[in-house]
Structure 1
Amino acid sequence: ARGVGLPGRVWQDGGPVWVSDVTTDARFARSALAATAGIHSAFAFPIRSAREVIGVLVFFSRRVYPPDEHLLKVVDDLGLQIGQFIERRQAEEALERSEQEHRSLVEGAAYGICRTSLDGRFQTVNPALVAMLGYASADELLAVNAAKDVFAREDDRAGLIEAYRATGRIREHDAQWKRPDGRVITVRLTGRRLLDGAGALAGFEKIVEDVTDRRQLEEQLRQSQKMEAIGQLAGGVAHDFNNLLTVIIGRSELLLQRLGPDPAPRRDVSLVQKTATRAAGLTRQLLAFSRKQLLQPKVLDLDEIVRGMGKLLRPLIGEHIELTIRSAPGIHRVNADPGQLEQVLMNLAVNARDAMPDGGRLTIETADREVETGPADAAGVRPRQPHVLLAVSDTGSGMDAATRSRVFDPFFTTKEPGKGTGLGLSTVYGIVAQSGGLIEVESEPGLGTTFKIFLPRVAVAVDAAAEEAAKRPPLRGSETILLVEDEEGVRELAREILVAHGYTVLEAAGPTEALRLAEAHDGVIHLLLTDVVMPVMRGDALAKRIAPLRPATRVLYITGYVDGQLVSPTALGPDLVLLPKPFTPDALLLRVRDVLTAAT
């Protein structure tokens, strides 16, 4: 304790103490014990560090000595030196512990950590950075000049140095780095500058995170959101146009039936009809892109589709292009619309042909593949699902990154004016997406292009009997039809066609009026012919409201576009029948007759 005994007095006073004879010193608590042991003189001095006493050294003698002031001065200085030595040693040990902890932290970090000189040389690197850049060892990476061998773009490094000079540090700066195998990765850099003793810039410290996968996913999300927004716009435009085209095509057909043999007016009306039909093809492409097109999927062999299209594609691409089909007999089936798959192949073949004006090779390949789909689990692993691959490759001019990012945009084209609508690849994208598949594009300038389409596999064999076409039923009838359509022109056209072929038509401009007619009509209503998308109530909701009132009434939906939810069996029932707009009079009569005949 402070002040108690010789060490306590030194601790309390902070200086050396000399006792000539401890056996006679009243402040020496153990004087009797000292006398028994034959101890007389004693002196003690403090060990000081930063003006604090950290220890006391005590010396005893069996003889009696008077105080030696010179000796006390020497030992007092000695105590200070010992204290400084201890303090320095403690600091060294603390530094060693800190360095060991820092080294352990750096070596075990999941992120890359490095220090580079001003000329770009790596000075220190951790194992994570070595693995990230694909080098065999730290020594191998330390021999690399980051400025020349790692930065894929000089402007990335220049921007980095500018940020260091301006603020002294960087925060989340993206850069393109290249690996020895040629692969380019996207890294996010965070760090600070290093200054020398004179305050001049001497180097940099960086934390490096590989964000390649994250940036790709973000780009895919942006692309998906962009395509979805454009698709909604395209689908809405196509829906409105289909209502107009239904009236134009239908009225043209009726007018042709009423015209006499004079060829001049018939030629004019036929031209209107043909032009409207071409416009309908354009809206179908818009609907395909927006994934709102009515598909008629069936279980099929993709390999058969490809082989069957070979004869059609050869004259399409021209003799200057070699066509190679690498089929894979025995691949799994897919569930898709065969007509739409043929459209996909045609569009991709035309796109490839235009990319090879001086000739080349077009390769179409099919194969079974496992594809990563869905979100990753806790370990970062995405589930792999069985698909069937359809790959279309060319040896043409290829595309740069800017073109690849817009290749599926509707109306985007690199062709000369008048040589393309810009809807070919967007149509492919829409058909694939609506079929539940994925599409990827690989291309570099001068190295050609490959489109890879992945369609989900199905394990069901093709039922040939189910694919036999039914015989064409008679077009006339005498049944009663409740017609519900909010577009006046379409409604009047449909009513006129049906009445002219013997049907009784109850006409409603909307769901509210249709419900009133269903309740008030005394006779049987054999068929509800209703638009799907209407104000107040959708067509499927109307059918559900009418079903308790008229359980025997069949339903036929007509629509300008088809939402995936609207056509699902759970939404409209397994007996769903749809008539897409624009339709011809014959198409309307045939579909009505199909539904009514199936009910008998």
Structure 2
Amino acid sequence: MISSIIDWFKASSRSFGFKFYLSTFVLGAGFNAFLCFIVIAGFATLHSFYIRNTIEITKSQVENILAKAYEDFLKKRSLFQSLDPAYSEELLESIRSEAEREVERTIRAHSAPNIGIELILANEPYSLIHSKLIEFESLHYKKYLGASRKAYLLFFLKISLIIIIFIFLLSVPAFILLRYLYLQFRNPLDSITNNLEKGEKLNYTGYTELDALISAIESYTNREKELLSQQHRLQLELEKSARLSAIGTMAGGYAHEFNNLLQMILFNLELAEKALKEGNQSAVDKHLENIKKITARGQNLARKILYFTKDIPGETAEVCQEIKNLIDALRVMVPREIELNIEFHCQRSYIVPLSPNSLKEILLNLVKNAVDAIEEVKDRIEKKEIKISVSVLNEKELLLEVSDTGCGMSDEVKAKLFTPFFTTKGFEKGSGLGLFIVYNLVKNTNGRIEVESKPMEGTTFKIFLPVVEKKITEEKGLEEKLKVEKEVKPKEIKSILVADDEDDIRDALREFLEELGYVVDIAKNGKEALEAILAKDYDLVLLDMYMPEMNGVEVLSKLKTADRIPPYVVLMTGYAGDVSENIARFTQEGVIKYILRKPFTFQDLEAIIKG
């Protein structure tokens, strides 16, 4: 029986109507209890005030009665005492008795038993409430005047029951009215629900709220396609916002990385300067060599910017062949105590839309992380293994897996795995960019990454890459396109124009080239470079890509229109993503003979000039 009631209650509690009634009942009961308390407390306060006032009035009258009785005694005693002195005591007793009878009549007159006020004279105040002491020594009178506690409690019990019953009787019709109003609203709502389930037309009910709901449902149905389109746009905006947030994070991280590199360069320069003053040439050479290494690190860090945005467009790689080419490099990376297994399941060559360098970047980052994960717990695991496997899921998708038996990771770490500059190894062992680079490279091919990992159970990265059709005519890589040498440079170079908006770069290049014996002119922006080339013939033009007034491509476009293309143009750029159609076109046409990516060394420049 009890279990059935419990099951019924659980089933009913899932109904909005049951919850509505239950909550209404609880709130109503609480409100009624509070209302009863307020009414009873208020009535008790008024009643108590009335009793006190009645007792005060009665006490005053009783004291007046006693005082008058004593005055009457004094008058009569003076009259009769001369006749009979012994009569005085009898007279006092007679007058006191008469006064007590008068007091009792007064108390009965002021009592109101119907409203719980029964005044009593008692020798002790224990059975009284609001008692007052009446004492008149002349008449030997001492008693307590108060209201009967028993009569008071019985009265209030009756009154409380009456109030509770009255409020309860008022609540019953209120609850019935509430149920009626609820059903008046619920029945049309049930009708709307049934029509929606059946797919029938919704009819207006006459209730403002329900009719507004019906209008909203019809409006939603009619605008479903428009809302889907808006949702798509909002999703794009959210993705854009997320990208901007990531860019902000990357900017802060890059500022930190480059500031560290600049700090190291500054320290080495100061140490070299100190060693030079001391005549310590070996120390000078050491610090200058350190600066070269630090510059190379900065160049490598800047190169990674390309991978944050996209891979080099148009390039592809044959996965199995590229991995075979990397086997030796991978074995050098992996310590001897760690087993490296590489498995290929390729029945033919499969092409993916990644450049060979990008594929190499993915593999090197994942293998480096695998090595670090195993090294962290190498004393606590028996099997130390890194496994690389390539398998073909279908003709349109290829799976590259890199797994290890290392420390694994928690769900919290996995959630932040591809966040830029997030690392658990400390920045002395990594910049926190490796997996972010991997993620972006894979994402930009319309591929995806899945990660399986648990603490102390190893990690597996699953990279799904789309397979593209192999091109009939084998294309060269974009970097090779930018280095096309269809035309041989002039046999002898005498005059050179250096066009760059950075003063230090212009001055350094001019000083170096003049030391080699060349005549060097300079231009600080694209407009000056154009004017100089139109006014004078130069054997070689070193042209910066981005300059004020006019960029390098715009300068070349105007020179081509004027038929004043210099015989040998080298494009200099510090932006690794300068792979535009115009640059590629000028390179194929032989206008641009070479692209020098900043930072480059004087040796690189001299090698280009002298061949």
User: TM-score, normalising length from structure 2?
Assistant: 0.49
Quote the residue 1:158 is aligned against.
none
**Partners in 2 of 1:218 and 1:526 — Cα distance?**
50
Match of residue 153 from structure 1: none
**Alpha carbons 1:302, 1:334 under 8 Å: kept:** yes
Distance of 1:475 and 1:246 partners within structure 2: 38
Distance (Å, rounded) in 2 between the aligned partners of 1:477 and 1:341: 41
Q: Greater relative contact order (Cα 8 A, min sep 6): structure 1 or 2?
A: 1
Q: 1:406 aligns with which of 416, 420, 432?
A: 416
Q: 1:552 maps to which residue?
A: 565
CA distance in 2, matches of 1:288, 1:337: 12
> What is the match of residue 431 of structure 2?
421
Q: CA deviation at 1:313?
A: 1.9
Q: 1:589 to 1:430 in 2, by over 3 A?
A: farther
Deviations 1:464-508 (A, max 9, x none): 99989999x999941533321111222222233334445443211
Partners of 1:326 and 1:390 in 2: CA distance? 10
Question: Is contact 2:493–2:539 with CA below 8 Å preserved after alignment?
Answer: no
| Alignment check: 8 A CA contact 1:440 1:452 kept | yes
| Match of residue 486 from structure 1 | 501
- Name the CA distance, whole Å, in 1 between partners of 2:389 and 2:404: 12
Residue 428 of structure 1 aligns to which amino acid in structure 2? V
Deviation of 1:262 after TM superposition, in Å, equals: 5.3
Counterpart in the other structure of 1:538: 551
Distance 1:261 1:477, change over 3 A: farther
Residue from 593, 598, 602 that aligns with 1:585: 602
Q: Would the aligned equivalents of 1:245 and 1:582 in 2 still touch at CA under 8 Å? A: no
Amino acid at match of 2:303: R
CA RMSD of aligned residues (A): 5.1
Q: Which has the higher helix share?
A: 2
Q: CA deviation at 1:353?
A: 1.8
Matches within 5 A, 1:264-303: 264-285=283-304, 287-291=305-309, 298-303=315-320
SS in 1 for 2:571: strand
Q: Is the 8 A contact 2:265 2:291 kept in 1?
A: no
The 1-side partners of 2:564 and 2:302 are apart by 36
* 1:491 partner letter: R
How big is the shift at 1:324? Answer: 2.7
- State the alpha-carbon separation in 2 of the partners of residues 488 and 241 from structure 1: 24
**1:65 maps to what in 2?**
none
Q: Which runs of 5+ in 1 are unaligned?
A: 1-94, 110-212, 250-259, 371-384, 595-600
Alignment deviations for residues 521-549 of structure 1 (CA, whole Å, 9 cap, x no partner): 2xx23443222222333222222223223
Structure 2 residue ranges without an equivalent (≥5):
1-185, 201-231, 269-278
Structural mapping, 1:454-469, within 5 Å: 454=465, 457-460=468-471, 463=474
> Which residue does the alignment assign to 1:310?
327
C-alpha offsets along residues 233-280 of structure 1, whole Å, 9 cap, x if unaligned?
A: 77899999999999999xxxxxxxxxx995443333223323322333
In our comparison, the structure showing a higher alpha carbon Rg is 2
2:507 paired with 1:507: no
Supply the distance in 1 between the matched residues of 2:436 and 2:545 (Cα, whole angstroms).
Answer: 25
Residue 569 (structure 1) aligned to one of 581, 587, 605? 581
Corresponding residue for residue 460 of structure 2: 449
Q: Distance in 1 between matches of 2:286 and 2:194?
A: 87
> Whole-Å Cα distance in 2 between the matches of residues 238 and 415 of structure 1?
16
1:118-166 Cα offsets, whole Å, 9 max, x none, are xxxxxxxxxxxxxxxxxxxxxxxxxxxxxxxxxxxxxxxxxxxxxxxxx
Q: Which amino acid is 1:535 matched to?
A: P
1:334–1:457 Cα contact (<8 Å) kept: yes
Alpha-carbon distance in structure 2 between the residues aligned to 1:551 and 1:310: 50
Counterpart in the other structure of 1:57: none
Q: Which AA in structure 2 matches 1:445? A: K
1:346 aligns with 2:364: yes
CA shift, 1:232, in A, is 6.5
Aligned length: 370
Amino acid at match of 2:572: I
Q: Which has the higher strand share?
A: 1
| Amino acid aligned to 1:404 | K
Residue 551 of structure 1, CA deviation: 3.8
